[in-house]
Chain A
Amino acid sequence: MTMNEIPLRQSDSRPSPKAQAVAARVRVNADRRGGVKTPKWIVKLSQTPAAK
């Protein structure tokens, strides 16, 4: 499947809890590498089992 064939998400759709948790972990890791302070609720979200 090429990039053009991937169905894109709709504007009214919501991310799944698993995707949210993974996104939180990605954000926390990026902020840690850059020395930026991450909001607490994102840190908390990144520590949920879904983010593993």
Chain B
Amino acid sequence: MGTVLENLHDFCGTWFYWFPDFAQSPGFAGCLAVGAAGLAYHGTTKNARQEQWWKRAEYALNLTLSAEETTQITGLEMLDALKSKSKREIAFIDAATQWFLDKEAEQVFSGPAVEEPPAEFYDDVPAPPGRRARILGAVRGIFSRPRA
């Protein structure tokens, strides 16, 4: 124990000379206990929050499975009110809304798919030189980023 304390004294140096004595005091044990309690509290509240989220999400999901439109919309609004943030929660929302947002819905709202014209169609447009293309690409990249 004496060697350990000597090493600790050497390690702490000039500025933390008080620490080895403090480490042996009941106050330090109290600080550790408070820290452990804080960690336990954090873990418990986090788990409780997740559990509550899943319970509410399950209830909302069951509502979205209803045959009636009003009940479905109520379930969807409840899912929105859950304020999902983690990846798992967002994956749950994706799964819950998948039936409503399938490919047929895309065709109904955005019209039939438009075929891309052949490459010859763009032949009259001059190709930008390499440096200009890089700059334009960088500018387009900035403006095409999703807004927060």
Contact = CB atoms under 8 A, between A and B. Distances in A.
B138 to A, nearest CB: 19
A33 B83 contact: yes
A31 B108 CA distance: 22
Interface residues of B, number: 36
A23 B85 contact: no
Interface residues of A, number: 33
B139 to A, nearest CB: 19
Contacts of B84: 30, 33-34
B62 A45 contact: no
A26 B106 contact: no
B67 interface: yes
Interface string A13-48: 111111110111111011111101100011011001
Interface of A: 3, 6-10, 13-20, 22-27, 29-34, 36-37, 41-42, 44-45, 48
Given A15-B99, A15-B100, 11 more contacts: A6-B68, A9-B67, A18-B73, A20-B105, A24-B97, A26-B79, A30-B90, A30-B93, A34-B85, A41-B110, A42-B101
